[in-house]
Each structure stands twice: as C-alpha cells, then as structure tokens.
C-alpha cells in the first residue's frame, strides 16, 4: 500500500457481550480515503498480555499518519474523546483470556505514570457535535484495556519517532446490545449484563457518522502536523499476517 495511512483499531467483544460497536464500525471505514490518507481498520484482541506487543507491531508495520483507537464504554451516554492514559490496570471485568489485574498493576513497569493523547480532543468533539451527535472530552480513560490501548499506542509511536495525532474514542452501547442484555439477564460477576439494564445507547448509523467525523478531523490534524506524508511500509515478508 502506498501513500499515508490512518490506522484505526477497534476492540472485539468482551464482558460476555456478543458484539462490540468498536469492531462493527470497522468495515464501514476500512479503505476510505480521507484527504489523501487511506484508512486501515483492524480489530484487536481483548487481551491484557497480547496488546502490549500487538499494537506496537501494527504501528511498526503501517507507520501511520495518525492512530485512532475505538472501544466500548459500558453505560456511557455519549461519545467520549479520551485525553489521558495512565500506567495502571485494574479490571472490573476480566479480559477474554480470563486475566483480571487488580490494584493498579503497571502496564509497563518502566513507563511514565501517564501519557497524554496527541490529538486535539476538543476539535474532535466539535467535529462530532457538528453532526448533531452528543460527545464530550474525557480526562480518564479508565483502567481497563481501552486505557491500556491508548497508553501503548502513544508509547509505540514515540519509540519510533512518529509524531502524528493519536487518541481514543469511547463509544456507547448499541440499542440492540441493550436489548440482548435484557433478554439474557444474568448475575455472573464480570458480565456486562449483571447490573441495571436501564442504559443509554446510540444507533450504529449515528456511531459510524461520529467515527467518520473523527477521521476527517484527525486527517486535518495530521496534515497540520506534517505527518500525512507517505512512510516506507515494511517489506512484505516482514508484514503482519
């Protein structure tokens, strides 16, 4: 693939749910070309142990002009543009391998206490609001894998000298997810549907529009930062499967 790339990743389903909007939106944006930047969209595993190596490998392969990570915020009423990732893991819900770190276990033992997202989150929110979609900035990405993803991406980009904007967008439940939980109400600890089910949600079409608005804003930021120039891709035999 030639030309600058915008890397977008979304988490696979977790917490006992059969779907995740962060993954569902990916086919709707994969291959888009936004102001000269081609979008590459990839689903990522829900793995405490796997993500710290998987995400830097994606950054090394694509050398992106920008990075956008997507995840589901359980019970969030709006789209949230995250600004800070902390070097801590405390999982209320286990990952898909049953791993559940507690007590603020460090993501990277030698890493900084926090990393600041390099996108202009306020501009992202304004772009989403312009589509008449509720959105807000957030100063705490949690202590689950969404936070770990942002922290890891920021470190990976810095490690190889890439200066493109990078941020994390939290998405609400889809209405059909809430319906599914109502029909499969359970009391199992660690499942999303073990608590109250009077939950806010946002339709898929609206979430796709929010993500596309984010991509247009990120593309403008990448051009302003001078990172929207082609970077040499890895040789074929070095690329990820």
Catalytic residues: 82, 146, 170
Helix (H) / strand (E) element for 151: namely: helix 145-159
Structure tokens at 223: 């051009």
Distance CA 231, CA 160 (A): 12
Distance CA 101, CA 35 (A): 41
Distance CA 37, CA 7 (A): 10
Distances (CA, A) of 44 to 121, 182, 224, 238: 23, 27, 28, 19
Helix (H, G, I), strand (E, B) or coil at 80: strand
Q: Which residue reads 């979609």 in tokens?
A: 133
Handedness of CA 151, 153, 156, 157 (dihedral sign): negative
| Per-residue DSSP letter, 194 | G
**Contact, 107 vs 89, CB < 8 A?**
yes
Distance CA 114, CA 116 (A): 7
């Amino acid at each position: 693939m030639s030309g600058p790339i915008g890397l977008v990743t979304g988490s696979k389903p977790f917490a006992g749910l059969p779907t995740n909007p962060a993954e569902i939106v990916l086919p709707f944006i994969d291959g888009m070309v936004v102001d000269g930047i081609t979008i590459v969209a990839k689903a990522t595993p829900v793995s405490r142990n796997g993500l710290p190596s998987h995400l830097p490998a994606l950054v090394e392969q694509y050398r992106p002009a920008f990075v956008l990570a997507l995840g589901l915020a359980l019970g969030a009423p709006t789209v949230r543009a995250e600004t800070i990732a902390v070097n801590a893991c405390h999982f209320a819900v286990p990952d898909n391998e049953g791993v559940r770190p507690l007590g603020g276990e460090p993501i990277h033992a030698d890493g900084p206490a926090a990393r600041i997202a390099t996108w202009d989150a306020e501009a992202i929110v304004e772009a989403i609001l312009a589509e008449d979609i509720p959105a807000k900035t957030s100063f705490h990405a949690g202590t689950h894998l969404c936070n770990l993803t942002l922290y890891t991406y920021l470190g990976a980009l810095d490690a190889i000298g890439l200066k493109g904007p990078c941020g994390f967008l939290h998405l609400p439940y889809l209405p059909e997810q809430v319906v599914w939980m109502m029909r499969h109400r359970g009391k199992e600890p660690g499942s999303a549907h073990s608590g109250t089910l009077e939950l806010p949600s946002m339709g898929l079409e609206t979430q796709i529009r929010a993500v596309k608005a984010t991509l247009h804003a990120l593309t403008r930021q990448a051009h302003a930062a001078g990172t929207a120039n082609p970077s040499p891709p890895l040789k074929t035999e070095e690329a990820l499967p």
